[in-house]
């Protein structure tokens, strides 16, 4: 569900998160919900501003209870350093907000302490090394130069699903303890603690988001080729641009020259400048995903 836009970036709320917000508002927790949404939005805007400052275009932000996902255009796998700074911006901002409001004079008539706790939990939770959390993106940026973007994403997404499963089991355990203390025969729910239920819901959403990261892995870079394929299918042809390159050239340097208006073809030449092989843009992208941002043409 789209809420609006900030600095040209669409703000959306995940439908399950929206349902959760409605339920908790009906339970009389509307102000608490507003604080959570505000904390998550600030967290995601920190990612967005750093991405824009790094030359990465952000198309939309989708809000989840544990943070959100900023959808970007561009090849983050080409420059893992950029992904690191973009990912770390959110947790750092949340922790700084928690510290700032913690040291402000406490007003018992405000929700200051709750806002501190929300930002503290948001910052710490997102540092867990698992996709789609920021810690998973930090982990991916660190290991993708070693094992490749595809394997790094798959492993970080697996950690995300594993953490979600652990949270789900923990939530069920505490929910069982909570229910055992209630008088269910008289439908008296006084004293019911929502913490266990919150944990279960967050676990489900985290698992879904991690699964989506893993599932969409093969299409992460292919989105860039959608317009080109559409133009080729519509007209039967499209402009191409040839690049002549030595075998020791890094693929990321070549892909940095790619544009939506043409299809890239790279001719690899030997020491005598004789043509050895020609690679298409899709092959370059697949090789980058498999082997990491330091892959060179000679590695093909």
- pLDDT, one tens digit per residue, over 196-251 is 777 888 888 888 888 877 666 555 555 556 556 666 777 777 888 899 999 999 88
Instruction: Say what the pLDDT of residue 78 is.
Output: 61
User: Is the pTM value of this prediction over 0.85?
Assistant: no
Instruction: Say what the pLDDT of residue 222 is.
Output: 59
Instruction: Say what the pLDDT of residue 73 is.
Output: 63
Report the C-alpha gap between 77 and 80 in whole angstroms. Answer: 6
Instruction: Say what the pLDDT of residue 21 is.
Output: 75
Report the C-alpha gap between 202 and 104 in whole angstroms. Answer: 30
Residues of the chain below pLDDT 70: 1-4, 7, 65-68, 72-78, 106-109, 179-194, 214-231, 260-261
Q: Which residues are within 8 A (CB) of 251 and not within 5 positions of it... i.e. 6 or more apart? A: 284, 287, 288, 295, 296, 297
Q: What does the angle CA 161 – CA 165 – CA 171 come to, to the nearest 5 degrees?
A: 140
Report the C-alpha gap between 239 and 237 in whole angstroms. Answer: 7
Catalytic residue, from 44, 79, 213, 281: name it: 44
- The side-by-side arrangement of strands in the sheet containing 2-6 is 2-6, 9-13, 57-64, 67-73
| 57-64 and 67-73 strand pairing | antiparallel
Report the C-alpha gap between 276 and 267 in whole angstroms. Answer: 7
Instruction: Say what the pLDDT of residue 300 is.
Output: 82
Q: Encoding tokens for residue 15? A: 């439908």
* Domain made up of 223-299: CATH architecture: Roll (3.10)
Tell me if residue 60 is catalytic: no
């Amino acid at each position: 569900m789209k809420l609006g836009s900030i600095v040209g970036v669409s703000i959306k709320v995940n439908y399950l998160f929206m349902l959760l917000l409605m339920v908790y508002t009906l339970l009389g927790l509307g102000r608490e919900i507003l604080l959570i949404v505000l904390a998550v939005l600030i967290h995601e805007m920190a990612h967005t501003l750093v991405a824009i400052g790094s030359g990465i275009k952000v198309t939309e932000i989708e809000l989840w209870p544990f943070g959100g996902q900023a959808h970007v255009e561009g090849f983050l796998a080409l420059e893992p350093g950029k992904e690191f700074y973009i990912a770390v911006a959110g947790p750092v901002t949340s922790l700084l907000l928690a510290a700032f409001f913690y040291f402000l004079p406490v007003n018992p008539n405000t929700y200051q302490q709750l806002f501190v706790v929300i930002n503290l939990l948001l910052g710490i939770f997102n540092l867990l090394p698992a996709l789609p959390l920021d810690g998973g993106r930090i982990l991916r940026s660190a290991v993708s130069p070693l094992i490749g973007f595809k394997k790094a994403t798959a492993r970080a997404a697996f950690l995300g699903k594993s953490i979600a499963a652990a949270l789900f089991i923990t939530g069920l355990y505490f929910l069982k303890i909570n229910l055992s203390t209630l008088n269910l025969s008289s439908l008296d729910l006084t004293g019911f603690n929502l913490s266990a239920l919150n944990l279960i819901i967050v676990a489900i959403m985290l698992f879904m988001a991690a699964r989506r990261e893993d599932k969409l892995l093969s299409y992460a870079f292919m989105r860039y080729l959608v317009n080109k394929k559409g133009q080729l299918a519509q007209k039967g042809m499209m402009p191409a641009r040839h690049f002549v390159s030595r075998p020791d050239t890094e693929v990321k340097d070549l892909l940095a020259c790619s544009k939506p208006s043409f299809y890239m073809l790279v001719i690899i030449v030997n020491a005598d400048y004789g043509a050895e092989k020609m690679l298409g843009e899709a092959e370059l992208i697949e090789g980058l995903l498999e082997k990491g941002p330091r892959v060179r043409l000679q590695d093909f």
